[in-house]
Amino acid sequence: MNIHAQRTSLSGHVQVPGSKSHTIRALLLASLAEGESRIHNPLPSADCLSTAAAVPLIGAAVDLARGEDGEPGSVWTVQGAGRAAHLPSDVVNVGDSGSLLYFLSPIAATFEGWSVFTGDESIRRRPVHHVVDALQQLGAEAYTSQPGSQCCPLLIRGPISCARKVVTGGTVSSQYISGLMMAGMLMDGTLSIELTDPKETPYLTMTQKWLEKVGVPVSVSPDFRHITVSGPVHISGFDCTIPSDWEGVAYPLIAALLTDSEIVIDHVDCSGTQGDDAIVALLQSLGADISWDRANESLTVRGMKKSRSGVGRLSTAALPGGELHADLSGYPDAVCALAAVACFVEGSTYIEDIAVCRRKETDRISVLKQELSALGAEVEEGEDFLVIHGHSPVLEDGSPNPAFALHGGTVRSWDDHRVAMSLACLGLGLPAGESLTVLDAECCSVSFPRFFDVMNGIGAQFSAENALH
């Protein structure tokens, strides 16, 4: 599916789906629990559905409450395997879900015997050598099936043991650290994890809070370099409500800022368990008109002529050195959205410490440079950073800015949901008469099902056509 976008204005209320990160953690822990768990407001995305399809392989049962149309319902029920949880009974195909791969593989390694993990073409390009090394330190046999490869298929023979602590970097991803933490609740003793360079630390806090919620003793040092989890702990079924996904909030947020719009994003997560909420303060530092009503769990976003200034110009002028330096090591999934909006900011935006983005669904650093440059943006790429030298579409008095050179064209999604959504939102802010086509945009379903329908509900006017291959 190809998506066409052009300048528009947005208005009304919008709600984004539940958090993918929370949904997958809830499914895995419910599967390991004794008895029934009920998960309210889960995200019915491709990654979460892959998780729901995988956990029966370790003994759980999942009811997605599908309606007559076949779509998953708003409350999922999990019959946990509890003490009967076992080695995966078949090859685990994680689809396109790195979260599922990195979470479930350490859990599978706690059982005696061989388990095999694979996935789609994208997953088979993502590294697992860090998982292999960590599990080998704990006494498992772990290999990639292809000689010389650092990617899936991944073969593991457990069980792992707490006899030695794990010493690992933490730079490739935080997800396998979360997987080890969840595996610790199944192990006999205290699992010690030492991180030499922890990244994406808000997600480690999220895992910690989930484990504490279900009664697992866990300790995380203030610098995130030392983590312990004590087991075995036999947890009971639970009821939970999945909070909204801040990674999803970013897209209507930036779309409103780039257009003559006023929208309200309802039911945003105010718990502080998702590091991506830091994007609000970043954008406000550029002059973005965003009001966060924590009592009512809503964001009001006013862009361009609808902003309270009547101009809506975003600029780095008030920041130290006249530049925005954004360290996104804690929430790298915001890179695509921030890069898109940075093209409309007067001044230079440095998006830093994001090497992990080269190992996501695609090499996001390289892809963003390529696609944004094709639209007229001035972008620099480094091993672990992006620099966007942007221009606001308007001058301080609201008149057109002759230096603004962004234009329409055709761009690729690279089958990366965050690239597709960010570029589509960028298209809404292009000058009148320009349009943008995003190829193969159906990948948005990985984290935001019905994204284009939801956005059209507030006036985005995205149009779709079937891709020709």
pLDDT tens per residue across span 61-90? 999 999 999 999 999 999 999 999 999 999
What is the three-class DSSP state of 263?
Answer: strand
pLDDT, residue 467, reads 57
Q: Taking 70 as the threshold, does the pLDDT of residue 306 lie above it?
A: yes
Structure tokens at 317: 């002028």
Q: For residues 348 and 390, is the Cβ–Cβ distance under 8 A? A: yes
Burial bucket for residue 203 (CB in 10 Å: 0-12, 13-18, 19+): buried
DSSP secondary structure string, 193-259?
EEESS--SHHHHHHHHHHHHHTT--EEE-TTSSEEEEEE---PBP-EEEPPB-HHHHHHHHHHHHTT
Q: Which of 276, 277, 289, 333 is catalytic?
A: 333
Q: What is the mean pLDDT of residues 356-367?
A: 92
Q: For residues 362 and 419, is the Cβ–Cβ distance under 8 A? A: yes
Q: Taking 80 as the threshold, does the pLDDT of residue 200 lie above it?
A: yes
* Predicted TM-score (pTM) of this structure: 0.82
Whether residue 402 is preceded by a cis peptide bond, meaning omega within 30 degrees of 0, is: no
pLDDT, residue 468, reads 45
Q: What is the mean pLDDT of residues 424-432?
A: 97
Structure tokens at 49: 């559905």
Q: For residues 444 and 43, is the Cβ–Cβ distance under 8 A? A: no
Q: What is the mean pLDDT of residues 182-200?
A: 96
> Could you tell me the pLDDT band of residue 173, with boundaries at 50, 70 and 90?
confident
The per-residue pLDDT of the chain, averaged, comes to 95
In angstroms, rounded to a whole number, what is the distance separating the alpha carbons of residues 16 and 421? Answer: 13
Q: What is the mean pLDDT of residues 202-226?
A: 96
Q: Give the pairing type, strands 92-93 and 435-439.
A: unpaired
Largest distance between two CA atoms of the chain: 69
Q: What is the mean pLDDT of residues 135-143?
A: 97
In angstroms, rounded to a whole number, what is the distance separating the alpha carbons of residues 450 and 78? Answer: 25
* Residue 245 backbone zone (phi > 0: left; psi -120 to 50: alpha; other: beta): beta
Q: Taking 50 as the threshold, does the pLDDT of residue 300 lie above it?
A: yes
Q: What is the mean pLDDT of residues 270-293?
A: 93
pLDDT, residue 219, reads 98
Is residue 333 part of the annotated active site? The answer reads yes
In angstroms, rounded to a whole number, what is the distance separating the alpha carbons of residues 401 and 461? Answer: 25
Going by C-alpha positions, the residue among 244, 243, 255 that lies closest to residue 12 is: 255
Which H or E run contains 409? strand 409-412
Supply φ then ψ for residue 15, to 5 degrees: -125, 130
Angle, CA 444 vertex, CA 440 and CA 447 arms, to 5°: 155
Based on DSSP, count helices (H) and strands (E) in the chain, helices before strands.
Answer: 12, 25
Whole-number Cα distances in Å, 243 to 211, 228, 276, 297: 17, 26, 13, 11
Supply φ then ψ for residue 180, to 5 degrees: -65, -40
Question: Cα 31 to chain center, whole Å?
Answer: 22
Cβ count within 10 A of residue 194: 15
Radius of gyration for the alpha carbons in the chain, expressed in angstroms and rounded: 22
Whole-number Cα distances in Å, 357 to 187, 298, 351, 442: 32, 29, 11, 21
Q: For residues 256 and 286, is the Cβ–Cβ distance under 8 A? A: no
Q: What is the mean pLDDT of residues 198-213?
A: 94
In angstroms, rounded to a whole number, what is the distance separating the alpha carbons of residues 388 and 325? Answer: 11
In angstroms, rounded to a whole number, what is the distance separating the alpha carbons of residues 105 and 171? Answer: 18
> Could you tell me the pLDDT band of residue 393, with boundaries at 50, 70 and 90?
very high
> Could you tell me the pLDDT band of residue 176, with boundaries at 50, 70 and 90?
very high
Q: Taking 90 as the threshold, does the pLDDT of residue 308 lie above it?
A: yes
Q: For residues 284 and 290, is the Cβ–Cβ distance under 8 A? A: yes
Q: What is the mean pLDDT of residues 141-166?
A: 94
Q: Which residues contact 457 (CB under 8 A, 6 or more apart)?
A: 12, 14
> Could you tell me the pLDDT band of residue 365, with boundaries at 50, 70 and 90?
very high
pLDDT, residue 360, reads 86
What are the beta bridge partners of residue 166?
Answer: 193
**pLDDT single digits (tens) 217-264:** 999 999 999 999 999 999 999 999 998 889 899 999 999 999 999 999
What is the dihedral sign for C-alpha 79, 84, 90, 91? Answer: positive
> Could you tell me the pLDDT band of residue 466, with boundaries at 50, 70 and 90?
confident
pLDDT, residue 189, reads 97
The percent of residues above 70 in pLDDT, for the chain, comes to 99
